A = this chain, B = another copy of it.
Amino acid sequence: MITLASDFPSPYPAAMRGVVCSRSDARIEDVAHDFPRQDVRAAAFWLREVLPYFPPATHCVVVDPGVGTDRSALVVEAGDHHIVAPDNGVAVPVARELASGDDFDVWEIEYDDAATASTTFHGRDVFAPAAADVHDEGGPAALDRCSRTDDWVDLTFPEPDMVAKGARGEVLVVDGFGNVITNVPGGPVEGCEGIRVDDELIPVRDAYAARDPGDRLVTVGSHGNVELAVNRGRGDEAFGLSVGDSVLLEW
């Protein structure tokens, strides 16, 4: 199985799909093609949340603001999964998740036909062919154009600052519902009746519907972090928070 993930507006993902189908009989499943545009950190977060639910697969990931520059193309081998992605860190958090730590391998992949590759669409001309080949050959070790490397861009999410009875966190991503996902682990919040969010007391609830429509809540999201939400509404608007904002949580 080959999965496709990108921040590409339609119909660019279809060109990748066509290239994969032309080179491989692998089943294709889409992960997402509407990651926040050129937001490598957000894509890295979502990949870490989603890819581990898939069976072993080759994941072709293209969120690539550096397309056409000299950044490398990588194959990351983590557990039974392969992730083909640009060298900007996007594949690293999910690799750590899949490998339960740093026990993953990184390979640099030479462009198959660099001479003819466009400079603006490596999803089609570099990553899709590489994913098809990695899949069909069973991994980068079987490909002459892959070589192990220890020189790759790392990416880690910012740690929250733990303060007395709380944490100063950061908004990592806002999902399409408007739920505000912070970098603060949910553990200390579970079981609380409510916590202070930037000095306002907000109820902690297991379910969005445990609050009336339009009312705010704190929950521990399906990702395990503290999430600020509104039942049937948008948490980002109600809390006035965007990606990268700082937020003080006190329990």
Contacts and interface: CB of A to CB of B under 8 A. Distances in A.
Interface of A: 1, 3, 5, 8-12, 14-15, 17-19, 21-22, 28-35, 37-38, 46, 49-55, 65-69, 118-121, 124-125, 175-177, 206-210, 219, 221-222, 227, 232
19 contacts: A3-B14, A10-B32, A10-B35, A10-B176, A11-B32, A11-B35, A11-B46, A12-B175, A14-B29, A15-B49, A15-B50, A15-B53, A28-B29, A53-B124, A68-B207, A68-B210, A120-B206, A120-B221, A120-B227
Contacts of A55: 18, 21-22
Given A119-B219, A222-B125, A207 B67 contact: yes
A233 B232 CA distance: 29
B208 A51 contact: no
Nearest to A33: B10
Q: Which of A28, A29, A120, A208 has the most CB of B within 10 A?
A: A120
A31 B50 contact: no
Given A10-B34, A35-B11, A221-B120, A207 B69 contact: yes
Q: Which of A49, A50, A124 has the most CB of B within 10 A?
A: A50
Nearest to A222: B121
Contact of A38 (B15, B37, B118, B232): B232
Contact of A65 (B30, B66, B125, B208): B208
Contacts of A8: 176
Given A30-B14, A50-B18, A209 B66 contact: yes
A54 B15 CA distance: 8
B38 A219 contact: no
Contacts of A14: 3, 5, 29-32, 50, 53
A18 B54 contact: yes
Given A207-B119, A208-B68, A221-B120, A11 B49 contact: yes
A30 B35 CA distance: 18
Shortest 3 CB-CB contacts between residues of A and residues of B: A9-B176, A68-B207, A18-B53
A31 B28 CA distance: 13
